[in-house]
Amino acid sequence: MGGIDFEAVASASGILGLGVALGYFVRHLFRRLIDGDLIKCNDVRKKLESDLKAAAGERDEIKPQLANLNKLRNALTGEEDELWRLHTAEMPSEVASLLGQNRPKIITVMNLKGGVGKTTTVANLAAHFGKQGKRVLAIDLDYQGSLSRMLMLAANIRNTDAPRAIDLLSGNQDAVALQRQVISLQSTLDNVDLVSCGQSFDRFENRLMLRWLIGDEKDDVRYRLARVLTNNAFRSAYDLILIDAPPRLSTGAINALACSHVVLIPTVLDRLSAEAVGNFVSRLNHFRPMNTALHYAGVIGTLRGQLGGADVKDGAFEIAERGVANWTGTPYVFKSDIKYFTDLAREAGSNVGYLKHKDVKEAYILLADEIEKQLRL
């Protein structure tokens, strides 16, 4: 009675010890499990953090590309002008300095309206200035090839391996070799050489523009022609370069604007066409910063009398004068215009009127004299 049951105590403390040990073991097990999970969680968090960082980096890289794509999309849905202004233009300094010397004088004949006499103007002016003794290079930048056809037919030249507009804009041709191989029209047109153009030019121009837009071309393709024409081979060979531009703001047309001192704008002198001059000149203004040498825009009245009498012409002349005043350089409307000649219409560009018809020749001489005085050729 009243004695301690040692056996019971021993068994109870054994159970207690076992309980404590078990508890320790279980806690330890939990701890390890939890620690293990925590470590795993930590690893996952670190991985997530690094993934997030990488994603943020990629987003920063993609951002400007996305902005470019957006600009490209907007430009593609807007006017051609915007496409050509997508990348800021900076005229290469050596090109700017050589063009600044004004020799040879480079004149682009351009109007986005079709059939206004651009090609006819280039051909007849080339014939006249060549005859005067100026060394003239006529460049056809229209894939329709009307100027090439007109001049080559006149000079009786058929097929030729001579350099074409494509070669001038390809960016990898030797300018000296190009100049040596241009087509000489000497047999019929004194002192006139030609760089011709044909159908394949269209696809070439589009591909070149797209590659430039998406950054696949290393150089600024807008200055390809300027680089060739400011090469000494061309500078020393010519006094005057006349470029026939297409009625589009194509790669060729932009290259022409990027290397010219002067834009001549043939316009039918009726009211509607004269009204379009202001709009065209305003569009041209956007391209002036591209070429520091481009300063002169002159409107030439063409096809007078085709639609109406002298009163129509006079009204249109004033409208053209107001329109060309939008030009931020030197604007001018030539007093000598070119009337509608039945012979020219009938021959439809198969010959150079200057060479065949006295009245056509006289009209172009008057115009050329005024151009010469205006531009101090």
Ligand X SMILES: Nc1ncnc2c1ncn2[C@@H]1O[C@H](COP(=O)(O)OP(=O)(O)OP(=O)(O)O)[C@@H](O)[C@H]1O
Residue type, 85: R
Phi/psi for 144 (5° steps) reads -65, -25
Residue with tokens 């300027």: 226
140, 244 Cβ separation under 8 angstroms: yes
Q: Could you tell me the smallest distance in angstroms from the CB atom of residue 281 to ligand X?
A: 17
**221 CB-near residues (< 8 Å, 6+ apart):** 169, 171, 208, 209, 211, 212, 251, 255
Q: Give the one entry of ligand X, Mg ion, none that residue 114 binds, where binding means its C-beta sits below a cut-off of 5 to 8 angstroms depending on kind.
A: ligand X
Chain residues binding ligand X by CB under 6 A are 114-120, 142, 146, 247, 302-303, 338, 340-341, 344-345, 348-349
Radius of gyration of the chain from Cα atoms?
A: 37
**330 CB-near residues (< 8 Å, 6+ apart):** 295, 296, 297
Q: Give the one entry of Mg ion, ligand X, none that residue 310 binds, where binding means its C-beta sits below a cut-off of 5 to 8 angstroms depending on kind.
A: none
Q: Give the one entry of ligand X, Mg ion, none that residue 22 binds, where binding means its C-beta sits below a cut-off of 5 to 8 angstroms depending on kind.
A: none
373, 335 Cβ separation under 8 angstroms: no
Q: Could you tell me the smallest distance in angstroms from the CB atom of residue 356 to ligand X?
A: 12
For Mg ion, give the closer residue by CB, 136 or 245: 245
Q: Could you tell me the smallest distance in angstroms from the CB atom of residue 245 to ligand X?
A: 8
For Mg ion, give the closer residue by CB, 130 or 145: 145
What residue spans of the chain are helical by DSSP H?
Answer: 6-77, 80-84, 93-99, 118-131, 146-154, 165-169, 175-181, 200-213, 224-229, 232-237, 251-257, 271-285, 310-324, 342-347, 353-356, 358-375
242, 136 Cβ separation under 8 angstroms: yes
For Mg ion, give the closer residue by CB, 119 or 251: 119
Check binding of 119 to Mg ion (CB under 5 A).
yes
| Binding residues for Mg ion, total number by CB under 5 A | 3
For ligand X, give the closer residue by CB, 121 or 188: 121
Check binding of 118 to Mg ion (CB under 5 A).
yes
Q: Could you tell me the smallest distance in angstroms from the CB atom of residue 120 to Mg ion?
A: 8
Stretch that binds Mg ion, among 42-50, 118-126, 271-279, 301-309 (CB under 5 A): 118-126
Could you count the other beta carbons within 10 Å of the beta carbon of residue 69? 12
Stretch that binds Mg ion, among 43-51, 111-119, 208-216, 344-352 (CB under 5 A): 111-119
Q: Could you tell me the smallest distance in angstroms from the CB atom of residue 340 to ligand X?
A: 4
Check binding of 146 to Mg ion (CB under 5 A).
yes
For ligand X, give the closer residue by CB, 85 or 113: 113
Alpha-carbon distance of 156 to 91, in angstroms, equals 39
- Residue whose C-beta lies closest to Mg ion: 119
Alpha-carbon distance of 118 to 184, in angstroms, equals 22
Q: Give the one entry of Mg ion, ligand X, none that residue 341 binds, where binding means its C-beta sits below a cut-off of 5 to 8 angstroms depending on kind.
A: ligand X
Task: Please give the span between the terminal C-alpha atoms of the chain, in angstroms, as a whole number.
Answer: 142
Q: Could you tell me the smallest distance in angstroms from the CB atom of residue 303 to ligand X?
A: 5
Check binding of 111 to Mg ion (CB under 5 A).
no
Q: Could you tell me the smallest distance in angstroms from the CB atom of residue 110 to Mg ion?
A: 10
Q: Give the one entry of Mg ion, ligand X, none that residue 340 binds, where binding means its C-beta sits below a cut-off of 5 to 8 angstroms depending on kind.
A: ligand X
Could you count the other beta carbons within 10 Å of the beta carbon of residue 135? 17
201, 164 Cβ separation under 8 angstroms: yes
Q: Could you tell me the smallest distance in angstroms from the CB atom of residue 348 to Mg ion?
A: 12
Which has the closest alpha carbon to 178: 117, 118, 230, 119?
230
Structure tokens of 273? 């066409």
Site string for Mg ion, 228-267 (x = CB under 5 A): ----------------------------------------
For ligand X, give the closer residue by CB, 140 or 220: 140
* Binding stretches for Mg ion (CB under 5 A): 118-119, 146
